[in-house]
């Protein structure tokens, strides 16, 4: 059995990291976490034998010598205590840190940060400095790479790297929380969007732009909308505020449609967002912007793509007349999703990456 150390420049909760730990623990491995602050867990189960906090700062994340040295020194104390056989480095900053230890490691690239930064902040020279640094580090990775989408995997294959696809899909601990029989087919259409504080942060991130999305529901009779993760002062839009992840899975069962309403952005070709697979595992029809090709190709007939909000309005208008069919189809959707759109289907790719580290 191995001692595996998950390393992240972010903190906990983090569903992807926790699911990887969950997979490793099923094989009897000991799993540890070092990274940002721990504020709880997504899966509500003990995932790590111990948790350590590290001083990741924006200066350290760019490799500035003084801050990088401080980070490495603190990390060295963690290594001496944990004595890991393998480091599971989440995102490029951690891969760079792991590569300097001489220990076996795998690089779990969730977002391809250099490309993401260039495509979402093309006018900001400061961010382009980040992109150049991270691209240099990405090109220097000498370990197996786990990633979320075929587009990112293809990027690394062109560099001659071994890649393993593990999309952001829910595991059994999450799907067990879904209550599929809590919706009637003769009521009004219910749609849901699961995100963070997208609407109250002040401005949208370029690849998460939803300008005008709420107005679709304010100005038209296309059913009700629930926003999960944000708290809006809006009598026409139901919002839950931040809630625990497993409660999110329970909430999904009260809806017909799950929406990924980001307006088109070039970076979407690299994205394989977890909410798509949470939606379908709850039996929801998924509506997704047409530029999010990894989701569209994976879900196939279990999603409908739209080009803009006029297109989305037409789809929702049509579905207001077919709520009975959506409810009737739900058991079949759930059955197919539990066989095809779940974490366990890709678990062996994690194990193979570990073997080849």
pLDDT at residue 66, rounded to an integer: 94
Q: Shortest CA distance to 189 belongs to which of 223, 227, 239, 214?
A: 223
pLDDT at residue 130, rounded to an integer: 84
Q: What is the pLDDT of residues 226-252, one digit of tens each?
A: 999 999 999 999 999 999 999 999 999
| Largest Cα span, the chain | 63
Do residues 54 and 71 lie in contact, with contact meaning Cβ atoms separated by under 8 Å? Answer: yes
**Which residue is it, tokens 């998924």?**
286
% helix, strand, coil for the chain, step of 5: 45, 15, 40
50-53 vs 145-147, strand pairing mode: unpaired
Distance CA(191)–CA(61), nearest Å, equals 38
Do residues 91 and 108 lie in contact, with contact meaning Cβ atoms separated by under 8 Å? Answer: yes
DSSP state of 264: P
Exposed, middle or buried: residue 224 (CB in 10 Å: 0-12, 13-18, 19+)?
middle
- Find the DSSP H helices in the chain: 15-26, 58-61, 65-82, 92-99, 113-120, 125-140, 150-157, 172-175, 213-219, 245-252, 274-281, 293-299, 309-319, 323-340, 347-355
Distance CA(167)–CA(286), nearest Å, equals 17
For 57, other C-beta atoms within 10 Å of its C-beta total: 13
Note the pTM of the prediction, 2 decimals. Answer: 0.95
- Structural domains of the chain ordered from first start: 3-168+344-355 (3.40.50.2000), 172-340 (3.40.50.2000)
Q: Shortest CA distance to 4 belongs to which of 68, 90, 100, 77?
A: 90
Low-confidence ranges of the chain (pLDDT < 70): 122-126, 180-186
pLDDT at residue 189, rounded to an integer: 95
pLDDT at residue 186, rounded to an integer: 62
For 20, other C-beta atoms within 10 Å of its C-beta total: 26
Strand, coil or helix: 101: coil
Q: Shortest CA distance to 187 belongs to which of 238, 254, 235?
A: 254
DSSP β-bridge partners for residue 190:
224
pLDDT at residue 201, rounded to an integer: 87
Q: Dihedral of the CA atoms 26, 27, 29, 31 (nearest 10)?
A: -30
Distance CA(103)–CA(93), nearest Å, equals 16
Q: Shortest CA distance to 143 belongs to which of 77, 79, 97, 80?
A: 97
- Angle (nearest 5°) at CA 197 between 57 and 153: 65
Do residues 135 and 155 lie in contact, with contact meaning Cβ atoms separated by under 8 Å? Answer: no
Strands ordered across the beta sheet of 224-228: 238-239, 224-228, 190-194, 257-260, 285-289, 303-306
């Amino acid at each position: 059995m191995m001692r595996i150390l998950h390393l992240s420049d972010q903190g906990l909760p983090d569903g992807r990291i926790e699911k990887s730990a969950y997979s490793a623990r099923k094989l009897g491995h000991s799993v540890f976490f070092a990274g940002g602050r721990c504020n709880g867990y997504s899966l509500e189960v003990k995932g790590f034998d111990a948790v350590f906090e590290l001083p990741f700062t924006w200066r350290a994340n760019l490799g500035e010598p003084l801050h990088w040295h401080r980070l490495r020194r603190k990390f060295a104390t963690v290594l001496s205590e944990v004595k890991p056989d393998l480091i599971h480095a989440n995102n490029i900053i951690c891969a760079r840190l792991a590569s300097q230890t001489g220990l076996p490691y795998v690089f779990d690239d969730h977002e391809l940060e250099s490309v993401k930064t260039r495509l979402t902040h093309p006018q900001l020279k400061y961010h382009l400095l980040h992109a150049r640094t991270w691209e240099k580090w990405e090109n220097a990775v000498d370990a197996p790479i786990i990633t979320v989408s075929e587009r990112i995997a293809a990027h690394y294959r062109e560099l001659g790297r071994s890649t393993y696809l593990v999309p952001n899909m829910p595991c059994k601990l999450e799907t067990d929380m879904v209550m599929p029989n809590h919706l009637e087919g003769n009521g009004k259409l219910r749609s849901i969007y699961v995100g963070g504080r997208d609407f109250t942060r002040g401005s949208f991130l370029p690849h998460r732009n939803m300008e005008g999305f709420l107005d679709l529901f304010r100005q038209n009779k296309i059913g009700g909308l629930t926003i999960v993760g944000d708290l809006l002062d809006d009598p026409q839009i139901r919002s839950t505020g931040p809630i625990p992840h497993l409660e999110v899975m329970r909430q999904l069962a009260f809806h017909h449609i799950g929406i990924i309403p980001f307006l088109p952005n070039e970076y979407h070709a690299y994205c394989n967002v977890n909410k798509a697979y949470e939606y379908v595992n709850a039996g929801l029809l998924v509506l997704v912007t047409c530029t999010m090709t990894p989701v569209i190709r994976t879900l196939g007939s279990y999603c409908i793509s739209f080009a803009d909000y006029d297109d989305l309005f037409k789809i929702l208008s049509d579905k207001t007349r077919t709520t009975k069919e959506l409810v009737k189809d739900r058991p079949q959707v759930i059955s197919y999703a539990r066989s095809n759109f779940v974490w366990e289907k890709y678990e062996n790719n994690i194990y193979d990456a570990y073997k080849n580290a």
